[in-house]
Structure 1
Amino acid sequence: MDKRDYTYDRWTKSALIKRIKVLEANLLRAGEHKSEVAQESTTSVVTGEDATSPPKKKKVGRKIDPSKYSTRLVAFKLAYLGKRYGGFEYASSANLPSIEEELWKAFVKACLIFPENPDEVNWDSWEYSKCGRTDRGVSAFGQVIAVRVRSNRPLPKKEQPTEAGQVDENGEAAELDAAAEETKEKWEFDDFTDELPYCRLLNKLLPPDIRMLAWCPTTPADFSARHDCRERQYRYFFTQPAFAPIPQSFENPDNSSKRVKGGWLDIEAMRQAAKKFEGLHDFRNFCRVDQSKININFERRVFESDIVEVKDAETALPFLDREEFRPSGMDLPEKLPKVYYFHVRGTAFLWHQIRCMVAIIFTVGQGLEDPSIVDKLLYFEAEPRRPNYQLADEVPLVLWDCIFPRPEKPENALEWVHIGEESPGNQHGTGGLLNSMWEYWRERKMDELLAGQLLNIISSQADISLRKDPKAPLHIPATTRTFEGGDRERLVGKYQPLLQKPRLPSPAEVFDREARRKGFADAAEMREAWSKRREEAAGDLPPKELLLEEGTE
């Protein structure tokens, strides 16, 4: 009987579905058992078979014996498009699959790890670490994880005791040992001819929107993808214009006070705002407060923050060349729309910090706020409670790269071997990484191309000056259309300036409320209790609530 622990909290969804099917099949077989027994004697008479003959044995799949293999700690660089995932980190209560869940299934199926219960996502036994925790919908093109995996390296041989009578007077055994040692010296394990092709194995098992890009054959023994990371880079992509502009003849004159025509962005103003984030700042007004991390430090250092154009990424939409759709007084290129990204580099980031920063930059780009709003929100002594503004959409955000090592630990640098460097066919051959991604890209490129052609047809077919309906409005309603990074604008009525919006509780208020929920008078008392607990458990890891998460966007 299967004695596995059937606590389903951390099972993968595919494993749960498989288990349900097994249980349903068992119930069905139990109901049909009596009728099968009754038919056995009749079947034996008709077929001439012995009713007592044993049933045919089912084929059992071969299993790898982990004890026969060595292991090694390997750092992997991977990329994924996060739109259809519930985030990187596995959560049993999530409605969408996670990246970690898909990685777990691939590592288990490739027999790179050997968990006691393959259906339960539990990395604890495999020295697992990750560089960042991307949220739902967020992508990554340079995520890094480390896992202890199966290796083809030979296990160290146990010394065999020499039995009496095996060595003659001429020392024959010594000569044999010397010959064996000489042979061993001639053969050295090679990471590219003798080792398992880790990335190629995993890419065959992972979904097409999750790809292994590289591995490090010289991963240090004490390497941590989280703690050894020196710098994390994010990019947030957007288009210019951000959403479909309205023809001038249909615009409402009551909205004429706006500094930027609806749909368009003032890229230079956005760049001015972005530059203000550079340096060491307290970002409590640019993040979501995690109530469980009462010792968190809101200071983060940003090395670089800018707005950058993506070259040769535009798709021509000719209707945007018409003067009625363009803003007056803004220097724009002929071929539109353009693609840009908000580029930011730093050691670590707070929860939703990038999306908060982008949200403020978008208000500046639309002329709704002045670039100085960034200075005012960074000055937390004057603004201790964050205005309740809408976060930027998650899908255009990408964890672009993770840089190693930290300056204080230079020995934990990573020497990446990218797919194709060990063998060009793994990159460009049939079934290679580039070919598989080309197929994935082309499908979506055709979607973009056809949608663009249809959009051009629709924009040129109608003459809106006819107004054949006598009840047709002269102008659009007097309302503000705001851009928040999504596929379309959001109507907000009359825009309320950021510093006039309702305020969220301050971090101190959030932490005190959480402390009272756990039976403490306030957050200070809970911190003191945790500090004592740490002192009593000297040498142990601090409580999970005290750990500062890095790269948690």
Structure 2
Amino acid sequence: MEEDQKDNPPRSAPVRLAYRVSYLGSRFFGSQMQASERTVEGEFVEACRRLSLFDDWRKAGFQFAGRTDRGVHSRGQVAAFTTREPERAKSVINTQLPPDCWCTGYAEVSPQFHPRFDARSRTYRYYFSDMPENTGAMDRAAGQFPGTHNFSNFARIEDKNPYRTILSARVKEEDGFLFFEVTAESFLWHQVRCMATALLTVGNGGDEDTVSRLLVSEAERSLQPAPAEGLILWDTDCGIEWQPLPSDERSRMFLDHLRRHHSLMETICRKMQP
């Protein structure tokens, strides 16, 4: 009996972990797992398998707080799974993730924790590529969003309830860039990007009442969503106090390379202007 115990040491009790996840969406086909495409969930699951944190992602209860479309980025996605190797998961998860995806925090959570259903709110930021003429009008128009409204004119509804509750919304300039920030309990497909389109119309000379009119008018053809690359899932509030995690050196080098590349391209474009 003693020899059997030596050959088969008792396994540690399972622990449920949550992670705050950042990623650059440009090279992903969205966050949701797909069989034949590169996705954030797919890369995360494969990293966990390489670390032997679990074998079957379903049995481990692997979940993300929500989905993001192709090209959309994240600063505050939340992932969760259950593992018998929590110390390994905490210490080396970033070494196995690709450089365009990394965890910035972790927490031990209850066995029942579900990042989607336990999320209190989600915050998105949409960064505009150009500076519109009237940013003040955009901020005033954004102030019409808070409250519970029918967003049929701002989203792809399909079979969903079109009503959503917006907790806060603003347009602000920071570091030379203009962004729209909105917090809600939940969002519909393309909702934030369509809201950004409406605000951009206002900023470029449109009627400030555009937003209020679309919120109360009969469902029309929904607005064209703004380009995905401007959208960031900024935060998901699950009531968690995160323990910080340093990003892997590969991710830091990857981000530095992107910054240098974009700086170079800006310089080239200026030199090529007539």
How high is the TM-score relative to the length of structure 1?
Answer: 0.46
Q: Whose radius of gyration is greater, 1 or 2? A: 1
Where do 1:4-403 residues align within 5 Å? 68-92=11-35, 96-115=37-56, 123-151=57-85, 196-217=87-108, 219-241=109-131, 264-290=132-158, 293=159, 296-311=160-175, 338-367=176-205, 369-379=206-216, 383-403=217-237
Size of the aligned set, in residue pairs, is 267
The offset of 1:69, in angstroms, is 4.2
2:241 equivalent in structure 1: 415
CA RMSD of aligned residues (A): 2.0
Aligned partners of 2:95 and 2:248 also within 8 Å: no
Q: 1:125 to 1:418 in 2, by over 3 A?
A: same
Equivalent position amino acid for 1:281 in 2 = H
Aligned partners of 1:139 and 1:395 also within 8 Å: yes
Supply the distance in 2 between the matched residues of 1:197 and 1:68 (Cα, whole angstroms): 14
- What runs of 5+ residues in structure 1 fail to find an aligned partner? 1-64, 116-122, 152-194, 242-263, 312-337, 406-413, 420-426, 428-432, 463-553
The offset of 1:113, in angstroms, is 0.1
Q: 1:391 to 1:240 in 2, by over 3 A?
A: closer
Aligned partners of 2:26 and 2:70 also within 8 Å: yes
How high is the TM-score relative to the length of structure 2?
Answer: 0.90
The offset of 1:348, in angstroms, is 0.6
1:528 equivalent in structure 2: none
Match of 2:260 among 428, 446, 450: 446
Supply the distance in 2 between the matched residues of 1:434 and 1:305 (Cα, whole angstroms): 34
State the secondary structure of the residue aligned to 1:68.
coil
The offset of 1:108, in angstroms, is 0.5
Identity in percent: 30
| Structure 1 residues 101-157: Cα deviation after superposition (integer angstroms, max 9, x where no partner) | 101110111000023xxxxxxx32112332111111111111111101123xxxxxx
Question: Where is the strand percentage greater, Structure 1 or Structure 2?
Answer: 2
Aligned partners of 2:137 and 2:202 also within 8 Å: yes
| Structure 1 residues 497-529: Cα deviation after superposition (integer angstroms, max 9, x where no partner) | xxxxxxxxxxxxxxxxxxxxxxxxxxxxxxxxx
2:4 equivalent in structure 1: none
Equivalent position amino acid for 1:235 in 2 = R
Aligned partners of 2:94 and 2:248 also within 8 Å: no
- What runs of 5+ residues in structure 2 fail to find an aligned partner? 1-7
State the secondary structure of the residue aligned to 2:14.
strand
Higher RCO, 1 or 2 (CA under 8 Å, sep at least 6)?
2
The offset of 1:299, in angstroms, is 1.5
1:544 equivalent in structure 2: none
